[in-house]
Amino acid sequence: MWESLIIVSVILVFFFTRNENKKREEQERIEEENKKIEEERVIREQERIEEERVLREQNEREEQERRKQERLKREKELEEKRKKKEFWFGLEGLDTEVELDKVFEKLGFETETTPPSNDEGIDHVLNGEIVVQTKNQKSKVSRPDLQRFWGSWKDSHKKGIFVSIHGFSNTCEEWVKDKPILLYDVDDVVRMMEGKKPEWNE
């Protein structure tokens, strides 16, 4: 009797243990599959993020190149416009200074634009030693304007250019004869755009 019970118990334990092992193996298999699925999901997500990053950078480069080409096109168009008198006649004072600065840069000068307020009649400084004043008013510049210009820098800089888009009164040429000042009107500005650098009589 006891022997039969022991045999039955052993058999029951064997089958129970085997079933538990199968359950554990099945659970481990499911966990392993889930782990692989999650790893694949993470990889796909990383690949998606990387593809988006590459596409975004490519779009940014293309946008930068497009803006660069547009800027170059506008600058080329402006260069042609700067060779026309009508372009300069149509500018306001501050715009004239900005555009003139581009002309000086094209000629190879290192340019510094002074602040609009408290500039003492000096709008640009070229190569640290040449001062420039710009006027784009309907009337011609007269001698008192030149005297104020001369007084503002004669002790601090070497040379000056007074640019008056609409020209100068008759007495101005005579007044600057013995001074290192060039008088430039719109024709001179156009010539600078065409490559003629300012020259002083030393």
Per-position DSSP letters for the chain, written without gaps between them? -HHHHHHHHHHHHHHHHHHHHHHHHHHHHHHHHHHHHHHHHHHHHHHHHHHHHHHHHHHHHHHHHHHHHHHHHHHHHHHHHTTSHHHHHT--HHHHHHHHHHHHHHTT--EEEPPSSS-TT--EEETTTEEEEEE--SSPB-HHHHHHHHHHHTTT-SEEEEEETT-B-THHHHHTTTTTEEEE-HHHHHHHHTT-------
Mean pLDDT of 173-179: 92
Residue 69 pLDDT exceeds 70: yes
In the prediction, which pLDDT does 168 show?
95
State mean pLDDT over 112-119.
69
Better pLDDT: 117 or 124: 124
Higher pLDDT, 50 or 78: 50
User: Is pLDDT at 2 greater than 60 in this prediction?
Assistant: yes
The two beta strands, 159-164 and 181-184, are: parallel
Integer Cα distance of 39 and 22 in angstroms = 25
Token pair for residue 131? 């001062």
pTM, two decimal places: 0.67
